[in-house]
Amino acid sequence: MDRIFAPAAVLCLMLSLPVWADQPVNNPMTESETWQDLQYDVVGDTEIGEADTLLSLDAPYRAHDAATVPVVLKQLDPDIQITAATVVIDENPAPIAGVFTFSPAMGELDFEMRVRVNQYSNVRVIAETPDGLHMTGRFVKASGGCSAPASKNPEAALASMGKMKLRSFGDTEQVSTPRREAQIMIRHPNYSGLQRNQVTQLFIPAHFIDHLEVWQGEELLFTMDGGISISENPAFRFAYNDNGTTTLTVKATDTEGNTFQTDLPKSTSS
């Protein structure tokens, strides 16, 4: 009897496993001819070292949604300041997703964003430190992220454009400085130029946030110069050292010349 039902039991066990159970524990970058062609345009002749002991980049092996792929950066060596990072998606139409700068007020870098991935690609980050450039990354299986339809029709998206929200995830103590974690969400369609109007089937012109600044009082936390690979309704989750001000100020501009600025009160819980 056991022999008769064993195959069925195995099948049930297989069906009960999560869909990601057969995916690699990690997904290191693969060899990329595209990157060989891109490298000079991104960093010129500057040598790039490994970032294995400095910074980790986590991204899914198979993306649930190619238009909103999570990318998480975590600093591994607290003694080396990461002053900037360039996020590159090799196979995207515009490979540089964003160039970020980080002030000392960010402390140990702990940063998350959402990006579009248009086809199977390496997603890499090039971190800038006083000692030079260091690179790490992940290989992500996703397709169609840059051409995926927007979640709202153009009129609705433009009507709410520029609205912002802040979530705070509480305080932790780091020596004598309160450490906070926050998420900033910005309403913006971030059109890639590769999406179609679902009614007219005409391409929607590219229209995206190209510059972002986040401040606490007079202290700059981070900036971003972004492109079409940043997801619709951009969201950034990050840790920072609280200087005691009551608000975070977000300033943004987009490719149509619009300017957005909002003071977001800090809170102590999500």
Q: Which of 162, 18, 143, 21 is nearest to 89 (CA)?
A: 143
pLDDT in tens, 141-177: 999 999 999 887 778 888 899 999 999 986 555 555 6
* Half-sphere exposure at residue 144, Cβ-oriented, CA atoms within 13 angstroms: 7
Is the pLDDT at 13 greater than 60? The verdict is no
Pairing of strands 121-129, 110-115: unpaired
The whole model's pTM is what? 0.87
What secondary structure, in 3-state letters, does 45-81 show? CCCEEECCCCEEEECCCECCCCCCEEEEEEECCCCCC
CB of 118 within 8 A of CB of 39? Answer: no
Is the pLDDT at 258 greater than 60? The verdict is yes
pLDDT in tens, 40-72: 999 999 999 999 899 999 999 999 999 999 999
How far is 186 from 109, CA to CA, in rounded Å? Answer: 21
Q: What is the mean pLDDT of the chain?
A: 89
Q: Which of 196, 170, 166 is nearest to 183 (CA)?
A: 166
User: What is the residue extent of each domain of the chain?
Assistant: 25-265
pLDDT at 157: 82
pLDDT at 172: 55
- 25-265 under CATH 2.40.110.20, yes or no: no
Per-residue pLDDT, averaged over 111-136, amounts to 98
Instruction: Look up residue 23 and give its DSSP letter.
Output: S
Residue with tokens 């401040």: 215
Is the pLDDT at 17 greater than 80? The verdict is no
pLDDT in tens, 232-255: 999 999 999 999 999 999 999 999
